[in-house]
Structure 1
Amino acid sequence: MTKIPENERNIIEQAIYLPMLLTVLQRDLSAVEKSLIKLKKPYQHWIENTIRNVQKELAEVKRYLHKNNIRVERMKSDEAFTMYLFLYKGYEEHCNYFNPRLRNKVEELMCLYLSTSSPS
């Protein structure tokens, strides 16, 4: 049984998903810059604005974790699972995440952030 309340678990999971989302967005930005698209700037600005929004959110998550003495560490991964260690108020909890679940959650967040980011 987990000792971590659901609201704090959601914040902890953001500390996992948001860095992954930033990596994807930065790779996509690089792909747009190298692509044969005629008008790259609107796409670049859209992705850059989304990156800034994700970075702001991640900074808030990190502040919250630091303030509440919560740590998240990636332990190990294989083809199917990635294990994380959560240090929460003196408790250690090991959690395995199914890699397709991580990818799907990052994709879901990407859709959310891209739809709320203004391209200007």
Structure 2
Amino acid sequence: MPFMLDEVVNHFESMIYLPMVIQILERDRGTIEFSPFKLKGPYINIVENALEMAQSELKESNTYARNKKMKLIKKSKDDMFTEYVLIHGGHEHERRYLNVRLRNRTEELISVYFDKSFINPEVK
């Protein structure tokens, strides 16, 4: 199996994690909108800023993947693992991710996006 550059692996992992981050943030935004909070605006703004940053990064990764002729395929999932096939440069790389690892990393990324939305709330 040929070596994959860190940049390529980072984009593949963005293509794995960011859709999960986006899905969770969209669900959370809906929950906040219909919750009994008196002041929903600040919470919605934080979630929307984080959502926009995640969507922007996913778009960058998808564009990179398209330009480099990369493809990500979700192969299988069971109670413990999710397996992906990464296609790049005419080679297929199979990677197995622990579902707990996927969940924990997604949670870490959400925290990162929340932190960024606190630091630069106008930056999207």
TM-score, normalised to structure 2's length?
0.90
Equivalences for 1:37-48 in 2 at 5 Å? 37-48=37-48
Q: List per-residue Cα deviations over 1:4-32 (Å, max 9, x = no partner).
A: 22221111101100000001101111111
Match of 1:94 in 2: 94
**Paired residues, what number?**
120
Residue 101 of structure 1: CA displacement?
Answer: 0.4
Alignment partners' CA distance in 1, 2:68 and 2:7: 13
Match of 2:59 in 1: 59
The code of the aligned residue for 2:26 comes to Q
Residue 2 of structure 1: CA displacement?
Answer: 5.2
Q: List per-residue Cα deviations over 1:67-86 (Å, max 9, x = no partner).
A: 00110111111111101111
Alignment partners' CA distance in 1, 2:9 and 2:80: 22
Q: Provide the secondary structure at the position in 1 that maps to 2:38.
A: coil
Misfit runs of 4+, over 2 Å: none
The Cα RMSD (Å) is 1.4
Q: List per-residue Cα deviations over 1:33-80 (Å, max 9, x = no partner).
A: 121111111111211111111111110000000000110111111111
Paired-residue identity, % = 36
Q: List per-residue Cα deviations over 1:63-112 (Å, max 9, x = no partner).
A: 00000011011111111110111111000111110001001111111111
